[in-house]
Chain A
Amino acid sequence: MLTVQTEHDFDRGVAVLRDQIDTKVAAYFSSCVHCGLCAEACLFYTETGDPRYTPIYKVEPMRRLWQREHTFLGKLGKALGLGSDLTADDFANWQEMTYDSCTLCGRCSMVCPVGNDIAYMIRRQREAFAAAGYSPEGLQGASTRALEIGSPMGVTLKTLKAQIDHVEEATGLKVPLDVQGADYMLLLSSMEVVNFPETIESLTRIFESAGVSWTLASQAFEATNSGIQIGDSKIAAELVGRVVRAAEELGVKSVVSPECGHAYMAIRWDGPNLIGRPYRFEVVHILELLDQLRAEGRLKTEGLDDRRLTYHDPCQIARRGGVLAEPRNLLHMVAPDYPEMSDTGRMNWCCGGGGGVSANEGAEDLRLTAFKRKKRQLEALNVDTLVTACANCRIVIEEGLEHYEMDIQVTGLTELLAEHLVSPHKPTPPT
C-alpha cells in the first residue's frame, strides 16, 4: 500500500537524493558559476530581498552531496575527513526553501546564463525531502487524500455527481459520464468541482454547442496530482496511472487536462515518464482543444467584453507547458485589444501559489508577500478583471487581491468564452 512519508527518515532522504543526481543535474552543478542572476527572476527573492530565496541556493543540500560524492576535491575531502556530510538539520533547515519559497514556476530556469533548469533541480530535491518526511503537512495531507479518496481536497464521486446534477438542471444538458469510445475524456481539478463548478457548466455548454464527443470518467475525474507537488514520483505515478487506466478502458482518443497548471504538467509531460511508457491516447490542454474548435469554426462567440481585462499565464501551462498562443487566440475573440502585463507569456510572474505552495499553510504569509509582484503588475495596467486558466492561480490570486483590498474580478478563460458563446445554451446569469 502506497503511503505518504510523514516520519522523519534522514538516511532514506539522502539515499533518494543520491539517486536524483542524473546527467542533467551533474551538468547543471558543474556549469553553475554562482552568478546569482536567478535571484532576480524569483518573486520570493525580489519581494522579500532575502538571499536565502536565491533559487540555486534552494538546492544547496543536493549541491553539497554532489560536490562531496561526484567531484575529486569532494571525494578527497571526505577521505581525509575534511568538510561535513549532510545532516538531518540541513534537511530541516532547507524544507522552507524547497517547498515554501518555490512554486516550481521555472522563471529562474529562463534566465540562467549557463542554462541551468533550476526548477528541474528543485523538483528532484523534493523527491528526497518527501522520502525523508521533510515535507509540509498540508502537502502530506493532500497526497494522502489523493491516494485514499482520489482527490487532494477529498472530493468524492458523490460530490461530483451532485455538481453534475446542478449543471444538468441549470443547462438542460446531459453531462456524459463513463461514455465508452468518446473522443475526449475530460479531467477536472478538485478546485473546479468545489470552488468553481461554473467551469463544468461552461464546458458542458461549449462542448454541446461545438458538437464535441466527450465524457467524464467516474474512475478518474481528478486531474490534480499531489505527487508532483510534494515530489513523490511513486504517488505521482499512481495518480497518473488511474487516469491512464480509465482512459484506456473507455477507449477515448484524447484526455483533456483542465484549467490547472500542475495537472497539465503531470498528465501531459511527466505522466508517460512516471508510468514508464507512452500513452495510447493523446493529451491536450483544454485551451488547446478550445483553440482547435475556434480554428475549425466550431467555437463561435458574439459580442465583445467591455471590461478592462488582462490575462495571467499559469506557469505550468505557459512557460513549462508551451500553451502560449492558444489563450491569446481565444481571448482575442472577445477582447481583441486587451493589454498584456509587463512580463508575460513565457516570462510571466507566478501567482505565488503553484507547486503546492497554496496547499502549504506554513507558507501563507510568504505567499502573500510574494503576491506583491502580481499586485504591481495589475496596478500598472489598471484592469478590473483578470482572466486566467488555472483554478489554483485563480484562488491564490483572489486571496491576494482580497488581502491587498484590490477590486479586481478573477475569471476563468473557459467561463469567459461561455458567456459570449453563440449558442442556445447560454450560461446562467450570476445571482
Chain B
Amino acid sequence: MFLEFVEGPLWYASAAIFIFGVSLRLIEVLTRGMPPDLSAPRGPGWPGALRTLFSRSWTAEGFTRGATFHLVAGYMFHIGLFVLLLFAAPHVVFLEERVLGFGWTPAPHWLFILAADLAFAGLALLWLRRVMHPVMRKISTFDDHAAAILTFIVMFTGCMALLMSHESLRAIHMLTVCLLLIYFPFSRLMHAFTFFLSRGFTGAAMARKGVQA
C-alpha cells in the first residue's frame, strides 16, 4: 500500500514539482536580464563558452593546492552517483517501465558495488572537508549540509533496498527519492543545471577578451 503510494501519486507529484521547479528556477535566472556587451571583441564568445564548459572539469593550470582533493573526491562522488543512477538494475527497469519506455543493459553487481563505494566515499570526503576546513565552515550554509545529507540518505536507502531486496526498504528509498526531487529545485543541487550557464557566461566573456578561461 505504502509502496504503491510512493511509486504512484507521490512519485508523479514529486517529479512534477521537480520539473516545474527546475524550469521556474531557470526561467527566473534567464529573465533577470543581461545587457549586450558593446565593447569590440577580440573574437567570438561562443567558442570560449564551449571551451570553459569542459575546461572547468579539471583544475586550472598550476592550481593544485586544495584543488586535487576536491577534484578526486568530486569525481569519485559524481561518477559513482551517475553509475548508480543510470545503471543500477532496478533504476534501469524503473526508467524503462515508468518513464522512458526503453531500457539498456544494467551494470553488473561488482560495478554497482564499486560505484556505490566511490559515491559514498566521495560524498563523505567532501562533507568531511566541509565540516573540518575553516574556509568551508565559514562559507557553508544549511542548504549545503541538507543537500549532502539528503543525497547520502537516498544513496544509502537505495543500496539497502537493492542488497536486501525487501519491499519496505524499496518504499523507503522511493520516499527519500521523492523528497530529494521536491527539495532539488529549491536547493544548491540546482548547480546540476545552472553550471552550464555559469561556465558558459564566464567562458564567453573571457573569450571576447582573448583569454582562455
Contact = CB atoms under 8 A, between A and B. Distances in A.
Contact of B136 (A21, A34, A52, A268): A34
Interface residues of A, number: 61
Interface string A388-423: 000000000000000000000000000000000000
B139 A320 contact: no
B62 A343 contact: yes
Interface string A21-53: 111111110111111110111000100010110
A276 interface: yes
A179 interface: no
A24 B195 CA distance: 11
A94 to B, nearest CB: 13
A279 B136 contact: no
B191 A114 contact: yes
Nearest to B189: A33
Interface string A96-117: 0000000000000111111111
Interface in B146-189: 185-186, 188
Interface stretch (A2-10, A66-74, A181-189, A292-300): A66-74
A41 B29 contact: no
Contacts of B14: none
A56 interface: yes
B38 A31 contact: no
A113 B133 contact: no
Contacts of B186: 71-73
A56 B139 contact: yes
Which of B29, B70, B139 has the most A CB atoms < 10 Å from its CB? B139
Contacts of A34: 130, 136, 139-141, 144, 188
A111 B198 CA distance: 13
A272 B136 contact: no
A114 B32 CA distance: 19
Contacts of B28: 26, 70
Contacts of B135: 36, 39, 45, 51, 54
A271 to B, nearest CB: 7
A110 B199 CA distance: 10
Nearest to B134: A51
B63 to A, nearest CB: 5
A324 interface: yes
Contact of B66 (A36, A71, A114): A36
A37 B40 CA distance: 32
Given A27-B194, A279-B40, A36 B136 contact: yes
B63 A40 contact: yes
Contacts of A21: 32
Contacts of B45: none
Nearest to B30: A23
A255 to B, nearest CB: 12
The 8 closest A-B pairs by CB, nearest first: A115-B199, A322-B210, A272-B38, A51-B138, A27-B197, A322-B209, A31-B198, A30-B194
Given A36-B133, A115-B53, A117-B202, 6 more contacts: A30-B198, A51-B134, A113-B70, A276-B38, A346-B211, A346-B212
13 contacts: A21-B32, A23-B34, A31-B191, A35-B136, A36-B136, A40-B66, A40-B67, A51-B138, A72-B21, A117-B205, A120-B202, A320-B211, A343-B62
